[in-house]
Amino acid sequence: MNDFRADLHCHTTCSDGTATPRELIQLACTIGLKGLSITDHDTIEAYQEATPAAAEKNLPLVPGLELSTVHKKASIHVLAYSFALDSCPIREFCMQQRERRENRNRMILDLLAARGMPLSAGDFREGDLSAQSQRSFGRPHIAMAMIRKGYVTSLQQAFQEYIGEGKPCYAPGNRFSVEETIDIIHQGRGLAVIAHPHLIENVAIVKDLLSMDFDGIEGYYARFPRSEQERWVKIGARKGWLITGGSDYHGEIKPHIPLGSSWVGEDIFNTLQQHYKGNLST
């Protein structure tokens, strides 16, 4: 029996996950994964530590990234895979995303302060105040700081009452369009994949995304039952796209989603790996 499983969607402490890149690699080996792609939000910083850690353990690792975009005012996540880690278009885009995040985090902090819940940048950036930091800080970090300050008692409460989409302290910030994001991924010779279509409620938005120049769709996601996955797998197959999958593991902040809860087999992982190797030899 072929027991090859590769998880293509997970987060580390370089964005809003709680495992360090090295811990994540160790965990992947412990649970028997045969391949991995780390897809932090808007940063590839994890690969600095993860690449040597994976090499030590002989765990094949394919570059990945989860980019924040907007379409018709809805927040849409786009996955990028198999680009070279030194790709200038991808690195430049991550830098722009970091600037956007900083401005947007500031807007959220202002809204919280106006409601009597002041937080300093140091409160939520866990002491990492360097302007050169390539980590992505966002709402989960703000939520955790709100818990530490005693403003809320849980991450869910922070999102539901204050910083979730449409709540009083939410700020969307200027996000990039899906189309320009796909374009940048292709400039960086990566593959662009629709992230977790299962979570998109607006049918018109799904239709728009399916008409765009994607290379794949995340058919297998988190702990969704097989019956709900099939719909997306069929759509992807009809389009001739790659059908990717992964857990969206975040560690302790989302303890109900374990690493490896969704995965892909050897064929898809090899395809991503071959594409990556092709980028290295050019």
Query: Please, which of residues 64-83 interact with ligand AMP by CB under 6 A?
Result: 68
Taking the complex as a whole, the smallest distance from the CB of residue 12 to Zn ion amounts, in Å, to: 10
Among 22, 139, 175, 196, binds ligand AMP (CB under 6 A): 139
Contact between 47 and 63 under an 8 Å Cβ cutoff? The reply is yes
CA distances 99 to 125, 184, 280, Å, are 15, 17, 29
- To Fe ion, the closest distance from the beta carbon of 58 in angstroms equals 26
In the list 34, 77, 101, 254, the residue contacting Fe ion (rule: CB under 5 A) is: 77
Applying CB under 5 A, among 7, 8, 14, 16 the residue interacting with Zn ion is: 16
Q: Please return the burial class of 72, using the count of CB atoms within 10 Å of its CB with bins 0-12, 13-18 and 19+.
A: exposed
> Residue 274: how many CB atoms within 10 A of its CB?
12
- The widest CA-to-CA distance across the chain, in whole angstroms, is 59
Q: Look up residue 177 and give its DSSP letter.
A: E
Task: Convert residues 245-264 into a mask of x (bound to ligand AMP by CB under 6 A) and - (unbound).
Answer: -----x--------------
140: contact with ligand AMP by CB under 6 A: yes
Please count the helices (runs of H) and the strands (runs of E) in the chain.
Answer: 10, 8
Minimum CB distance to ligand AMP, residue 4 (Å): 28
Instruction: List the one residue from 16, 40, 215, 248 that touches Fe ion (CB under 5 A).
Output: 248
Whichever of 16 and 49 has its CB closer to Zn ion, that residue is: 16
Distance CA 71, CA 250 (A): 25
* Interface with Fe ion (CB under 5 A): 66, 77, 248
Q: Which residues bind ligand AMP (CB under 6 A)?
A: 16, 41, 68, 138-140, 155-156, 159, 164, 250
